[in-house]
Amino acid sequence: MLNDLTQQPADALLALIKLHNTDPRADKIDLGVGVYRTGEGDTPVFAAIKAAEAKLVAEQDSKAYLGPEGDMGFVEKLMPYIFGKDSPDMGGRIEGMQTPGGTGSLRLALAMIKRAGYRRVIVGKPSWPNHNQICADLGLEVLEFNHAAGGAADMDALRAALASAMEGDAILLHGCCHNPTGIDYTDAQWDEIALLVAQSKVLPVLDLAYQGLGLGMEEDAYGLRRVLVAVPEALVCYSCDKNFGLYRDRTGALYAMAADPADLPRIMSNGHALARANWSQPPDHGAAAVRLVLEDEALTKQWLAELDEMRERMRAVRAKLAAAGRTGGVDLTPIGAQNGLFSIIPFTPEQVQEMRSRHGIYFAASGRINVAGLTMGNIDQFIAAVADVTG
């Protein structure tokens, strides 16, 4: 029977990594892999995490199972940063659980809404590819709308999508640092979105995978908090992979907000049951390290300072690209107003190939670049290559 399985296409990003790794040119540039890099091209472990890990090694006295909900200290310590310090549980209406990364959180959230009877998920296009892949695997229909037009968020498309929403629909929204476009909603647009979502009665699923990498920890949570104030129920998917640098440790959380606190035990029991059937219990190490950072005032301060440094470096790269203005046949100016790791440059497929073959610069076929792959040492090389290929 196994021989009846059909061959699946290779993951495009993994194939891109292989192409870059086998390129012998010393000046090649990798703008494809979605991880933060320093000005020297490294992806280091946070010093705050290193200190927490040392403490964990010294003090952890057991590797016994924690249960499908994972490290609840980790889950609770994150809540003031996500939901606000004044009322992090929204009056007892929010509860969470640990998941294997942001992907595990999304998988769990979408499985929960499928179990609850939701049939369709409204998703902006383009989106992170795994959003649609997880929906397809669960048998959820995806209704797409254009996320951006003319270098800005396409609010008309979002309004139309919500106006046509039906009972049993959910909407998946990026909380900040949109992947892959870098184009976020403004605060004023989030104010309107919160009202529209509440009026449409769709269930919001909010994906907050890059908090702190856009404009700041508080600023990046604005939209999520506005939506939660406006609606009775929501699911929040959170990742620590980027803002704590825990990529390979797969550290995330899922939070549910109920209309009535009395509903939370029943809602979370479904999350626990689905987790048990999928991964049984989440990996502990990354979550324990984050918890230790957030329990220690000095380590928390150190972590936030490291996060500030990351954000400022990416903003400097964006400013440098924007200052180049019209370069060849494309305008790089909008990149300066975008947020997070990613932006899309409107290359044709042929131009993407030319950037690789002629200049050794690798990024996704969609034109999505990871701006953190650029440094003050290679950014002029990149700008010159753009001018050459698109001019």
Q: Which residues are catalytic?
A: 128, 207, 242
The torsion of the CA quartet 279, 281, 286, 289, rounded to 10 degrees, works out to: 170
**Size of the chain in residues:** 391
Instruction: Give residue 326's Cα distance to chain centre.
Output: 29
Alpha helices, DSSP H only, in the chain?
A: 12-22, 47-59, 72-83, 101-115, 129-138, 155-163, 187-200, 217-220, 222-230, 264-278, 285-295, 297-323, 349-359, 379-390
Burial 141-154 (b: 16+ CB within 10 A, else e): ebbebebbeeeebb
Q: Copy the structure tokens of residue 168.
A: 């049993």
Distances in Å between the Cα of 347 and the Cα atoms of 27, 265, 283, 358, 378 are: 21, 49, 40, 15, 19
SS3 111: helix
